[in-house]
Structure 1
Amino acid sequence: MSDRYGYERNHGICGDLIYEEKNILDTAVNFIESNLHNDIGLRDVANHAGYSYFHMTRVFTAVLGESVGSYINKRRLYEASRSLIYSKQKIIDIAIDSGFESSEAFSRAFKNIFHVSPTVYRKNGLNLVVKTKRKLEQEHISHITQNISVTPQIIETEDIVIAGIRGTTTLYNNSLPKLWSQYMKMCRIHNMNTIGYSICESHNASYLENDDVRFSVMIGSPIEAFSTVPKSFEKKTLSKGKYAVFTHTGSLQNLVLSYDYIYGVWAMSSKFQLDNRESHEIYDGQVREYTDADNYVLIYIPIK
């Protein structure tokens, strides 16, 4: 049985579709460890793992609770801390080996993590472990049990032509509420009351130096929803393919928690392999307020 979106109701179909899992996180971490003393960043890690910057950042942040750059920096500083204790290298040499251009820059970064200078650390003979895996907070547990379907439905869609407006945002600085407000205002002007799509155009993503990723987003509705498409609207074809579909309920401010679960828990244990096609969201009914507890969203994650 399927509903109006082609959303399969048969919960048994997930077990019939099995794919060989490629552990993106293991691949990324192994690459980092093998190149810890080389000049690498998110771009290099993503290219090696065969994923887009967008997917790489999503998975890495969801699982480890920090960006690729932050993780690399902490690993280098931890290795530097071992050199301070177990070698007689000069601090400036350890700094350069760790990718820092000066002992001053190295000292500032080291103190930020270990709360003492490299000199004091070596003198005291300390040996600390930098924790990079964040604790699963209560808000995540509550969200998983109440606001997201932990087992997705697997569906296949045909091409869908969307008409709407486009804007830009980043993973860590969400500007979508303003874009949604603009779109809803335009819908009211044209007497529209229809299903809303939000398409993450990750193929247009650009890497930022702070390990954030900027990408464009298309917000709109299926072309058949319009009697006449407003001239100010752009058109886009949402590619057909296979998707894992999750439901999110409640405030849209907590969508990030749903994505944390999808990329940080489900994707790491699922037998399905992520695809680099664009993910999107479908909003069932009109979104009245960004924080409305009755919001209902379908999250489409592309898989192979």
Structure 2
Amino acid sequence: MTLQTPPIKPARFEDGRTFTVAGLGKRYGQATLQQIPTLWHRFEQHIGRVPGQVGEEAYGVCCNGDGKGNFDYIAGVEVQGTEPLPAEFRHVELKARRYAVFEHHGSLDNLKATFQAIWQDWVPVSGETVANAPEFERYGRDFNPNDSHSVMEIWLPLEDK
């Protein structure tokens, strides 16, 4: 039986800027995706107290994919620099580039379905090529993972046309 993917709102296109995200990170695969909320739970206590933190948004960055479904994930915030960060922190620089931006509405329980809709429904017919670059989730300061009215964004990196 195949999982039905929910329809997603049309993507908007944004020219992203260069910035650095720092936080707690770990390597994940398809069998361990369900452990990502635990990483966020560990990171929540740091939000607002990360040295050099910029703004109030939080980011979930997927990077260093191996083409087999394994990737590094960092739950973090934007920072001005990487010194002095706690020793257990990881960081990644997101380069200025073009992105397709998707909104996910509601609780994070359905986030996997939104990602499936992007990759299975949107990407194949979009005419766009996904870049070999980090993709990220952007959570506004008012985001509540249990609120059915919350909205977060998924930024998918694209190759230049």
TM range (shorter): 0.7 to 0.9
Cα distance change, pair 239–195 in 1 and its aligned pair in 2 (3 A): same
Give, as a single letter, the amino acid of the residue that structure 2 aligns with 1:244.
A
Structure 1 residue 157: deviation in Å? Answer: 1.5
Aligned letter for 2:66?
A: A
Tell whether the 8 Å contact from 1:205 to 1:216 is kept in structure 2 after alignment.
no
C-alpha displacement of 1:214 = 2.4
TM-score normalised to structure 2 length: 0.81
Structure 1 residue 205 displacement after superposition: 3.0
Which residue of structure 2 aligns with residue 235 of structure 1? 91
CA change 1:279–1:287 in 2 (3 A) is: same
Once residues 47 and 140 of structure 2 are traced to their aligned partners in structure 1, the CA distance between those partners, rounded to angstroms, is 15
Within 5 Å, which residues of 2 pair with 1:129-168?
Answer: 134=2, 137=4, 140=5, 143-144=6-7, 148-149=8-9, 151-168=10-27
The aligned runs of 1:49-64 (5 Å cut-off) are none
Flag the structure with higher strand content: 2
Does the 8 A contact of 2:104 with 2:153 survive in 1?
Answer: yes
* Matched residue SS, 1:183: helix
Q: Residue type matched to 1:205 in 2?
A: D
Which has the higher relative contact order, 1 or 2, with Cα contacts under 8 A spaced 6 or more apart? Answer: 2
Query: Of the candidates 105, 109, 113, which is equivalent to residue 257 of structure 1?
Result: 113
Contact 2:143 2:152 in 1 (8 A): no
Provide the secondary structure at the position in 2 that maps to 1:199.
strand
Identity %: 21
Runs of 4+ in 1 over 4 A off after TM superposition: none
Q: Deviations over 1:258-287 (max 9, x none)?
A: 111111111111122222212111011254
Structure 2 residue runs without a partner (length 5+)? none
Preserved contact between residue 194 and residue 286 of structure 1 (Cα < 8 Å)? no
1:282 aligns with 2:142: no
The count of residues paired between Structure 1 and Structure 2 equals: 154
RMSD between aligned residues: 2.7
2:56 is matched with 194
2:66 paired residue number: 205
| Unaligned 5+ runs, structure 1 | 1-64, 66-133, 208-212
How far the C-alpha of 1:186 sits from its partner, in A, is 2.3
The alignment status of 1:223 with 2:79, answered yes or no, reads yes
Aligned counterparts of 1:214 and 1:186: Cα–Cα separation in 2: 26
